[in-house]
Chain A
Amino acid sequence: MDLLSNDFLTALIAGGILAGMPLLLAGLGEMVSERAGVLNIGLEGMMLFGAYIGFVAAYYGGSSWLGFLAGAGAGAALSLIMIVLCVRWGLDQIVVGIAITLAAEGATALIFDAEFAETRPTLGDVNRLSIPGLSRIPVVGGADSSNGSLFSQPLIVYLSLVLVVFVAWMMRRTHLGLNVRAAGDKPAALDAAGVSVLGTRSWACLFAGAMAGLGGAYLSVVAAGLFEPFITQGRGFIAIVLAMLARGRPVWVVIGSFLFGISLSISDALQIAGVDISTDVVFMLPFLTVILVLVIFGRRAYLPPALGLPYVRGAR
């Protein structure tokens, strides 16, 4: 047993990225949406829907990019329900979120069983982009390893990281970002400034849906290469937790999702190192960690004051 061998570390990093990417994408979307004051509990359903549609598109279209695009579109389409019912009409976000999750779970399982129950098709591997030079570095390079490593990943991974930087810049440095934050912190002030609160929230919610769908598509197209009912296994809820813990900082979404990704995939890496540990224990670890973090740092968890509350002009 050699826990610090190169193979083990490479597998750990690769697994962390592979399992962490869906969390990162969905968590980033949820973070923006939470900042704007919309608590999107339907994230799990949007991921699942994106995973299914993305899988179908990649399977019939033969291109992973088609899958990502379709997945993001599917997630955004599902978030339209949330926008109309919660943002526009002011219905409770939690009730509608649960409804979206349940309906998406039922619908994807039903349609998948009707379409693919016998064939259960799988997709081929997605091409990895090995960055010249850097991918030759032993542990983080990963040009020769089967799952790659930090510098040998599908293009979508790099693009997502660029997106994180862009969102961070946007939230912090632009008017749009200020509007989004104001929509969650003090919607009345935003309204008084002449910016539509409902419009801002709608776009934030749409973004969250698209990102969740993209995360789901990554899960089915890249990480698993197949779709099965309930493939997300609660990852949408983890993403919500990550977004809340990140307190509006995209960097923390990245760190958190990478750490969660590692603990979701550590049992594979441990097997390479010759350690056999029950998956039940491993799956429990990230949640235990978060609960502990909450107990210890609980006081510092920050949520926008107007989170989950529909905005009605003139209401106090």
Chain B
Amino acid sequence: MSDAPVTTSITQPAGAPLGPPSEGGGRGPARAALGMVGDVAVRSVGPIVLALVFGGFLLLALGVDPLTFYGDVIQGGIDFGAWQDTIMRMAPLLLIAVGLIVVFRANIWNLGIDGQFLLAAAIIAGLGPEMLDAGMSRWLVLLVLFLIAGAVGATWTILPAVLRARYGINEIITTLMMTFIGINLANILIKGPFQDFESNVPQTKSMPFEDLLPAIPGTRIHVGVLVAGAAAVAVWFVMSRTSYGLRLRILGANARAAQHAGLNVSRLIVTSFMVSGMLIGFAAASEILGIWGYVRADWNPAFGLLVVPLVFLARFNAIAVIPFVFLLSLLSIGGDFATQEAGLSNEFTLLLVGLILLFMGVTELLGRRRDLGQSYLPSRLRRRRTPQTAPAPAEGAPRPAEPGAA
């Protein structure tokens, strides 16, 4: 778990691990490696299972058979070619996820996802038909629109980034406010300059289907999925194999240390914020140019907060996040079908994701306690391992001193 200390600082009880972490009773390296894999599996899959079980009880309380429901989710997300929808839904989610990884690694919170996404979507949906009408070639239009979407997303992060870098203003608050402004601005654009007056509802003109992103041969899946995959690999490479990624991780691990090490913290904050916004803009481009071709007023898929937990589950690893994105995608495509079958509101996905996040915190905490030589079990129930760790420290108390030190 080479990069774990950096990445899990989010859920770390600060200051707790002051002493050297005890090695779990002297396990051999092979067993330790095996234990680590098992550990990662438990900490990643455990919360999901717990959330599904807890959600199952809630379904029972609402008079829905949870097994049928979850079966419907899988059926609705896989069967009859629905797997292609599931894969396509992955494109924006994955792009958002890797966009978040860039900033979260630096311990910067970009929670303005929906605003960046919708504004980029509205602007390219408005410009696309105009550019096609002007006789530009399809490929040029698609390329330019992708770039515009990325630029819009990046632009929408500049203000929070500068406020954070200059004045240290909490970026959570500013990105949240920029999201509200962005959503309303997108609506103003759609109901104003970009509105298609031939349509009954306020929406932009639609781009003809044959001018959208092409499908991968033999499927309906548009190539935006490949873009998302490439972005995931690129982000993974940058974050783990380049000095820029290392700098971001140092900033995330300890901002003061980064400053003292001579890193240009302000520039790191602004650039990582803009890259994040750009990737979220790409997410909008892949969704609009891949599937819809237009944007309707008040359309808001609200992907933003849904993706956040996945990024944590994947330990901020751009490759590892892919299976989690698949799971969320399956839940949202299959969940629509399953909630319809069960006669429930389709907000069940939201609840599940919230629960996953909560249980993730708990699992992480328990795992961390075990790393520290404590046990998952309450102190009285477990067998003593080593004398040093026997008295479980009271909540918030310092770790007991080493015997020699006293």
Binding site for B on A (CB under 8 A): 41, 45, 81, 85, 88-92, 94-96, 98-107, 109-114, 117, 197-198, 229, 234, 237, 240-241, 244, 278, 280-281, 283-284, 287-288, 290-291, 294-295, 298-299, 301, 303, 309-316
Contact = CB atoms under 8 A, between A and B. Distances in A.
A114 B344 contact: yes
B30 to A, nearest CB: 32
Nearest to B343: A114
A298 B308 contact: no
30 contacts: A91-B13, A91-B361, A92-B10, A94-B10, A94-B109, A96-B361, A98-B357, A102-B350, A104-B354, A106-B348, A107-B351, A113-B345, A114-B345, A117-B345, A198-B395, A229-B345, A240-B176, A241-B173, A280-B187, A284-B188, A291-B174, A298-B163, A301-B167, A303-B170, A312-B14, A312-B16, A312-B398, A313-B397, A314-B18, A315-B16
Contact of B347 (A81, A229, A241, A287): A229
Nearest to B192: A278
A294 B174 CA distance: 9
Contact of A109 (B312, B345, B358, B364): B345
A290 B12 CA distance: 32
Contacts of B62: 110-111, 114
B238 interface: no
A241 to B, nearest CB: 5
Nearest to B176: A237
B345 A295 contact: no
Interface stretch (B177-185, B203-211, B286-294, B321-329): B177-185
Contact of A316 (B15, B58, B191): B15
Shortest 9 CB-CB distances between A and B: which pairs? A315-B15, A106-B351, A103-B354, A90-B13, A106-B350, A102-B354, A99-B357, A113-B345, A314-B398
A280 B187 CA distance: 7
Given A99-B357, A291-B177, A312 B352 contact: no
Interface of B: 10-16, 18, 58, 62, 109, 111, 159, 163, 166-167, 169-170, 172-174, 176-178, 180-181, 184-185, 187-188, 191, 305-306, 308-309, 312, 344-345, 347-355, 357-358, 360-362, 364-365, 395-398
Contact of A295 (B16, B163, B187): B163
Contacts of B357: 95-96, 98-99, 102-103
Contact of B351 (A92, A98, A102, A284): A102
Consensus secondary structure, chain B interface: helix
Given A94-B109, A102-B305, A198-B395, A109 B11 contact: no
A85 B365 CA distance: 9
A283 B13 contact: no
Given A90-B14, A103-B355, A106-B349, A312 B361 contact: no
Contacts of A88: 395
**Max chain B Cβ within 10 angstroms of own Cβ: one of A45, A94, A102, A281:** A102
A314 B365 CA distance: 19
A287 B13 contact: no
Nearest to A301: B169
Given A103-B354, A110-B344, A298 B14 contact: no
Consensus secondary structure, chain A interface: helix
Given A291-B174, A295-B159, A316-B15, 19 more contacts: A85-B358, A88-B395, A91-B11, A92-B12, A95-B308, A95-B357, A96-B361, A99-B355, A100-B354, A101-B305, A103-B355, A110-B62, A113-B347, A114-B345, A197-B396, A283-B180, A310-B13, A314-B397, A315-B18
A308 to B, nearest CB: 9
A240 B361 contact: no
A183 B314 CA distance: 33
A110 B347 contact: yes
Contacts of A291: 159, 174, 177-178, 181
Given A291-B159, A298-B169, A102 B306 contact: yes
Contacts of A310: 13-14
Contacts of A309: 14
B324 to A, nearest CB: 15
Contacts of B170: 244, 303
A294 B163 CA distance: 8
Contacts of B188: 278, 280-281, 284
B181 A106 contact: no
B172 A94 contact: yes
Nearest to A42: B354
Contacts of A92: 10-12, 361
A237 to B, nearest CB: 5
B361 A85 contact: yes
A311 B170 CA distance: 20
Contact of A298 (B16, B166, B352): B166
A201 to B, nearest CB: 11
B396 A106 contact: no
Contacts of B187: 280
Contact of A287 (B12, B14, B111, B177): B177
A106 B347 contact: yes
A7 B397 CA distance: 61
Contact of B191 (A100, A278, A313): A278
A287 B16 CA distance: 39
A103 B351 contact: yes
A297 to B, nearest CB: 9
Nearest to B395: A88
Given A229-B347, A301-B167, A312-B13, A41 B172 contact: yes
Contacts of B354: 45, 98-107
B177 A241 contact: yes
A282 B154 CA distance: 25
Nearest to B366: A89
A294 B191 CA distance: 29
B309 to A, nearest CB: 7
Given A91-B365, A311-B396, A234 B180 contact: yes
A109 B398 CA distance: 43
A110 B345 contact: yes
A281 B18 CA distance: 52
Contacts of B350: 102-103, 105-106, 109
